[in-house]
Chains A and B, each alone.
Chain A
């Protein structure tokens, strides 16, 4: 199983790496870039909200802060478009993390229910500040980022690979956290916070650190989107759509799992891009997206990945029941055992 999975991951990686070479149409690669970015953001969101069970609907704060941070850095340091803004991304992520420390500290003091609402409120505070501090953000007139000097055919390629890098980084960190003792602590907080605390998990610090890590990646992604689009306006930099889309992608794929956010983003992001671009009837995109969501949440409340795992486990146990199969050896046997164990997690 492990070998199959590694091979599968490598194959996926190869497809992702080769994608811009196979499809050169800018319309297609633009959708691909947004898909990668949403996958990265959802993975980062999941690292905090999925593992700890504290649902944040205010991650657009870091998305917007990242965008504005990159724009202001470029302006103050007089950076022209090109590859340099990409190198600034880690710094932008750090700035977003610095913002996350006090915000997380305040919000995480309250219960899970209240936390959701506080994150929404924080999101609106930042959106209003972006409007109300024209000295920094240029208010509703918006702020522009330097435009890269690449021609239309090549334009998307650097963005694609940088987005892929960010996704791989956030996926890697998410994987590492999930398999570390720290990640176990986070999952313990999700399952029973009081008990985790009494068993010696420093719940406050654990939650805050996850929040800050998650903000780091979301900030970088916000900056990338800003650079890609070329301009920032308060309602688009701090957009409620980002908050909810990320949560939905995670829920669709399976909250708290490693692959879930990826699956959710790969399915939903292209659909969303398509719906907003293609449909001409006003409001129809919202109706379709909302209806799809309702269907998914009500029919697959656990998300795709956990449901699939359960299904694999169920078929495995059924085939075990229908008759003694002596021919299962080695790899296949390991697959069954592993599938059974994973279904529980």
Chain B
């Protein structure tokens, strides 16, 4: 599979958020305002790529040689949690402005299932190093793209007249469904 196909399919055709249903909690949680969505998107791109590289290395250099495949889930989640903590401390010390804009999103990312999901998909699909890298970055970009688009739509809700029972999450989910429908249209591209 060539890298461009992989990239396009990760961003559009099997968008991690809208088609693979991963990372929906932050999707609905932080998409009320455009700038928080942008911040979360940036943080996810950063963490997801790093987490994917590290978990990939752990899987092939540590778990497989020692026949510890059954520990995959525990090890991966611990690696991600530790990584997030580490990035948070590093940014706080080294790049304070970046920490200010991304800081509050970092703890949320530990329980973002898209991060663990991408790490697991990388192993399941048996990607080599470069494929893994391309897939992780583009998946994260796809996530951020959907998040930012959704936040743009959601800002309009404030002036829209929505029935009371459907305000908040309910209308958010229906909107996400319509967006997913639009993304399904990409499926003929590759």
Q: Real complex partners, A and B? A: no
Name B residues whose Cβ lies closer than 8 Å to a Cβ of A. none
Name A residues whose Cβ lies closer than 8 Å to a Cβ of B. none
